[in-house]
């Protein structure tokens, strides 16, 4: 069952250039940065109420984030919804003929398991389902 919005992912060319806005101007609580080599990104996470803002900087030209920025520019990349049962969610979506990018969960940033729904099945919005592993 989907519990809440976990985070909004924002593609940026440089964390260094964007972190000050979220930390110093908006005054959001910085939760740290992390490199996720398997996704070719470096992320910075900020807390705002019950939701997080995730800045995603590509670490390679082969990164999906680099390709997104090249095609669409910096900006909102995805919305992530939190669940306690990611495998059950994926199976439920597939049973409703929802097209999945990830048919099995994979490791995400900050100790999560993640799976993406293809934007063609979600009104052109890249949608992530995530489950905390701690």
Please state the pTM of the whole predicted model.
Answer: 0.92
pLDDT of residue 110: 84
pLDDT > 90? residue 134:
no
pLDDT, mean of residues 7-36: 97
Burial track 78-103 (b if 16+ CB lie within 10 A, e otherwise): bbbbbbeebeebbeebeeeebebebe
Mean pLDDT of all residues in the chain? 96
Residues 109-126: pLDDT tens digits?
888 999 999 999 999 999
pLDDT > 90? residue 36:
yes
Please give the domain boundaries of the chain with CATH numbers for all domains.
Answer: 2-132 (3.10.180.10)
pLDDT of residue 128: 98
């Amino acid at each position: 069952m989907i519990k809440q919005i976990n985070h909004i992912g924002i593609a940026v060319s440089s964390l260094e250039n964007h972190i000050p806005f979220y930390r110093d101007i908006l005054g959001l609580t910085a939760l740290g940065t992390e490199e996720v080599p398997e996704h070719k990104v470096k992320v910075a996470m900020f807390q705002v109420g019950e939701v997080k803002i995730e800045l995603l900087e590509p670490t390679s030209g082969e990164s999906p984030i680099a390709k997104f920025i090249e095609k669409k520019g910096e900006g909102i990349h995805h919305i992530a919804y939190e669940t306690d049962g990611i495998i059950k969610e994926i199976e439920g979506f597939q049973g409703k003929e929802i097209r999945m990018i990830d048919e099995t969960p994979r490791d995400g940033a900050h100790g999560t398991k993640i799976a993406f729904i293809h934007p063609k099945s979600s009104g052109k919005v890249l949608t992530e389902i995530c489950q905390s592993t701690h």
